[in-house]
A and B are shown apart, each in its own frame.
Chain A
Amino acid sequence: MSEIDLTAHPKDSFLQPQLDYQALEPRALKSGFLTGLTWIAAVLAAIPLFSVIYMLLAQGGTRLFGADVVEVLTGLPPAGFEVGGGIGPAIVGTLVMVGIASAISVPLGILAAIYLGVLDATSKLATTARFLAKVLTGFPSILAGVFVYAVIVIHWGYSALAGGIALAVLMLPTVVLAAEEAMAQVPQKMKDAAYGMGCTQTEVIWKVVLPTGLPGILTGVMLAVAGAAGESAPLLFTALFSNYFISELAEPTASLSILIYNFSGMPFENQIELAWTASLVLVLIVLTFNILARLVGRPKV
């Protein structure tokens, strides 16, 4: 393309400007090159995901979708050269500990979010708490384990409860921030309408803010649950591991993620296959909560 002549104005000589595409012009080449790079980046980023999914199905699927599915889901982990076996205690352990973590973090998180999002969003306490919640989300998850180790495990030993509390520490900020965001989305005019009817603040929250913000809050909770289910670092030295089904909350407990970690390095085919199976089950659990998060969060039209 010819350069626009910026000096020749008024443009009496300006009769036939060149408007057409110039395919071989440097600018067009550069554009095409960059666009190509972006496409490659996007496609490359998708490769690990598909590779992981393929491996999960190919390696873990044979056991999970095979004839011995019941044994896999309910059996005890095999020892050394043993064949067969399953991941039953780990599945139960993961669910129990995520349950404990939710029971602690969800009510606490929503209550804190009510303060941050509705009661006094701009106070010193709220800004500080919000900032620290954000800091906490960036916290290395293993430090939650270290913390619970120092506070609980040193005194009372490894337990499902300790594992659950460690997970709760990680879930709490996610729940708080998501719930606050959801409640902030409730239009002021709806709240005003309730205040205008003479509602107390508590009544406004219970009758207007929470019901309206519920889908968003549930989304946040589900995502937090999904994240907690996949965590392993904080469980390593709080819940430890166990080869047996959990019978009380105060004893060491198995979890899917620790089972995968333990089995991944073993020199036995059977254990490695079970590690893949456990991974598949774990990913399915995590994805289920992710999908639930999307379904409940979808705005009703």
Chain B
Amino acid sequence: MNATAEALFVAEPFQAAGDVVIDCNVNKIFYGDFLAVRDSTVPIEKKKITGFIGPSGCGKSTVLRSLNRMNDLISVFRFEGSVMYHGQDIYAKKVDPVVVRRYIGMVFQQPNPFSMSIFDNVAFGLRLNRYKGNIEERVEKALKRAALWKEVKDKLKNSGLSLSGGQQQRLCIARAIATEPDVLLMDEPCSALDPIATRQVEELMLELKENYTVALVTHNMQQATRVADTTAFFSVDISQGGRTGYLVEMGPTRQIFEAPREKLTKEYISGEFS
């Protein structure tokens, strides 16, 4: 009866200091009738790493996947709000999601190389975009950047599936950056990796930031502190009877972890709930 009595909490908008590449304004995200995420404004800054943290079910992955319209693969998905990318709303009717995904690349939670050779995996995006230049050179460059070149340079013809989990994930990163997309979305890229592979991927992210804009979902708060410049903390609201995720607080990573404004953020980062 008191659902309307209190206004729903909405995070204070975060004022980004630099250029904003993607300005994401989630009003509501539905899966069918289920309200998955509400009221979250997340600006992604140019050549920075923006980390998304929060407990499971808080919608951080859902928001990330909305940034290149990956959620369109789910038929019941519905997005209300806007995602402004270089001044264009990628959810506008006339926008082709396929093109959006060519500019905004993605690395997934589970390594997902194609069942083809290592070389063909990395060259996939180049061929897809009918790249006319030297493909070998691009592949080598991408693999070097993904810190995989040394391990695979003598077996580029082998199947991508023959690599170990950590190598597969770096292969997927190489595949994603070979076309030099404008923005790279990473959805818990280290969750399937061992600590050594995780370190390698983290170092890679810091290097990527030189040239790319990165948005990173992580379940690991230490990872956020290690790599993210800006951090967005999401939580899940069960008070309305559903499980709706929303943005609690967004700010420079240091501020979020050392001087959080919201009580929820403080509790989360000090491990009082998970």
Contacts and interface: CB of A to CB of B under 8 A. Distances in A.
B180 A6 contact: yes
Contacts of A15: 86
Interface residues of A, number: 17
B131 interface: yes
Contacts, number: 49
A4 B102 contact: yes
A4 B86 contact: no
B96 A20 contact: yes
Nearest to A31: B98
B180 A9 contact: yes
Nearest to B179: A6
Contacts of A6: 126, 129, 131, 133, 138, 179-180
A284 interface: no
B103 A20 contact: no
B94 interface: yes
B86 A3 contact: no
Interface of A: 1, 3-4, 6-7, 9-11, 14-22
- The 9 A-B pairs at the shortest CB distance, nearest first, are namely A21-B96, A20-B94, A19-B95, A9-B180, A19-B99, A4-B129, A17-B103, A19-B88, A10-B211
Given A9-B180, A11-B182, A17-B103, A3 B129 contact: yes
Interface residues on B, range: 20 to 34
6 contacts: A17-B88, A18-B99, A19-B85, A19-B88, A19-B96, A19-B103
Interface centre among B94, B95, B99, B126 (most CB of A within 10 A): B99
A19 B182 CA distance: 13
Given A19-B96, A20-B94, A22-B96, A4 B179 contact: yes
Interface in B42-93: 47, 85-88, 90
Nearest to B138: A6
User: Which secondary structure dominates where chain B touches chain A?
Assistant: loop
A139 to B, nearest CB: 32
B269 interface: no
Interface of B: 47, 85-88, 90, 94-96, 99-100, 102-103, 126, 129-131, 133, 138, 179-180, 182, 211
Contacts of A10: 47, 211
Contacts of A4: 102-103, 129, 179
Contacts of A1: 99
B102 A9 contact: no
Contacts of A7: 133
B257 to A, nearest CB: 29
A16 B86 CA distance: 6
A3 B96 CA distance: 15
B23 to A, nearest CB: 15
A11 B182 CA distance: 8
B182 A14 contact: yes
B95 A3 contact: no
A45 B95 CA distance: 35
A44 B180 CA distance: 44
Contacts of A17: 85-86, 88, 99, 103, 182
B230 to A, nearest CB: 20
Given A3-B130, A6-B129, A9-B211, A20 B182 contact: no
A193 B96 CA distance: 53
Contacts of B99: 1, 17-20
